[in-house]
Structure 1
């Protein structure tokens, strides 16, 4: 059911064409849904009993998962850049870095948590509301991808984008397996599920909450938000010598949130790579997360 709930709306969204004038409204609706999802994740976290006793476990798991996945990504992508050198025009420019959006997203989770604690026993939204928001979110993402003007041919023709996506996803799964090996009670499938968010925090947090509970959902959310923070800071530093690593470290956010930083640091030549890479990762993430979590 979860697989159908996530993939069917995205599939339908690919076939919904909207006028260009409506795309801005869809962007705003999508931004609103992201904040709603983050609030609901905070509320679900507030429902966890004895959360204070588990904070050390959550923090330790987030740090270990982040180190395993991002470390594997950087090693694999930097190796790829050395084997197949490529340098976009504009490399080395100083990019404007703003983490205000990331701070707002963390604040939404905290606000949802505070709301859940204050309203416990009075009124809390249905636990199914998160899944409904998730379905609406992926539907709009599908519509957005369709309306972006990017064709499947353009995605697949960019050979380096396809290669970067494949290496990033494979190395992420390897990092997930390493995390599972180092964490008692975490199966290989669960480790790969936790590594399959690829930075899509609004989706991964809810899917992991559905699969493993609010604690693991929060671990996944913080891990993917951490990827966004890390990408914003490191893209300008990596772009000169390791452009594929600079694009790949952002994961799913390279199609939207970190794209301006990629363009600023790497120039217009880096944009097709980012779009091809981001498109593939955005399509693969929901499928891989749900499949691995259903077996783990």
Structure 2
């Protein structure tokens, strides 16, 4: 029942957002609101992590599990998409030129988690935020994501008509889930369904951090968060290099961030021809991520 409530609480505001179209002049406010909500959610994740007993003993698990999960998922993503690009070549107008890469935003996000952790240790228990606050923030976040997607002028036809974008989404989804199964096989304490859930964030760290915290506790929520943040770091650095010969891999490696945070890097290194691919792929993967995470985290196998 709890998993059903979580699924409804995430999908309902997301699809409600699809029916809300705001004027373009308001979109910067929506973007700014999303940015602040992400920071608030990361702070709350840090606070939750600070309440874990014997956290020092858990740190080795967090670090080792994050590294292994990242290698399994990203490794299979690249293996499958690079094969796809070689088997079905596709040229972009760019030449893989060097793009302006900034990891300042990612560092800020890590800093928010650390700040929340410090605040959770310093504040009296009575001053700590309610556990439900993270869920409310997440609901507002996905509502604004829906509004952003609807108001950006993207239609479902535009998404589905981009064959390569849909193909890239399918391959990223299947290879990520295969990576989650590989992770579960290598970690005896991780069930198959848990491995699939952890691999379904696709780079949407603010969502995966909260959903996995609610499903499996702050330790595994932090592992999901760090894994998806690592995808963002990796994408920022390697998209320009991958774009030279593997454009689908370059777009797919960004996961959910290909629709926003890594889109400028995709455009600058791949040219305008890569933008429709990124938008189609990013749109579908942003819808799939919350569904797959909640469904798999509700299962036990």
Partner of 1:173: 177
Q: In structure 1, what is the equivalent of residue 156 of structure 2?
A: 152
So what's the TM-score if we normalise by structure 1? 0.99
Distance in structure 2 (CA, Å) of the matches to 1:17 and 1:87? 34
- Counterpart Cα distance in 2 of 1:184 and 1:204: 22
Equivalent residue for 2:220? 216
Q: Take 2:150 and 2:125, find their aligned partners in 1: how far apart are those partners?
A: 43
1:92 to partner: Cα distance = 2.0
1:282 aligned residue = 286
The corresponding residue for 1:89 is 93
How far apart, in 2, do the equivalents of 1:135 and 1:252 lie?
Answer: 17
Q: Does 1:234 align with 2:231?
A: no
The worse-fitting range, judged by mean Cα deviation, of 266-275 and 84-93 is 84-93
Unmatched 5+ residue regions in structure 2?
none
CA distance in 2, matches of 1:239, 1:289: 29
Shift of 1:17: 1.3
Q: 2:49 aligned with 1:49, yes or no?
A: no
- CA positional deviation for 1:122: 4.5
Q: Which blocks of at least 5 consecutive residues in structure 1 are unaligned? A: none
**1:76-134 residue CA offsets vs partner (Å, 9 max, x unmatched):** 00000011000100122111100000000000000000000001434100011000000
Looking at structure 2, the residues matched to 173 and 147 of structure 1 have their Cα atoms a distance apart, in angstroms, of: 31
Q: In structure 2, how many angstroms separate the alpha carbons of the residues matched to 1:120 and 1:73?
A: 44
Distance 1:140 1:122 in 2: 30
Q: For the aligned residues, what is the CA RMSD? A: 0.6
Q: Find 1:107's aligned residue among 90, 105, 111.
A: 111
How far off is 1:21 after superposition? 1.2
**Residue in structure 2 matched with residue 205 of structure 1 by the alignment:** 209
Partner of 2:82: 78
Runs of 4+ residues over 6 Å off in structure 1: none
1:287: how far off?
0.3
What is the alpha-carbon distance in structure 2 between the residues aligned to residue 75 and residue 166 of structure 1?
Answer: 14
Distance in 2 separating the partners of 1:118 and 1:276:
44
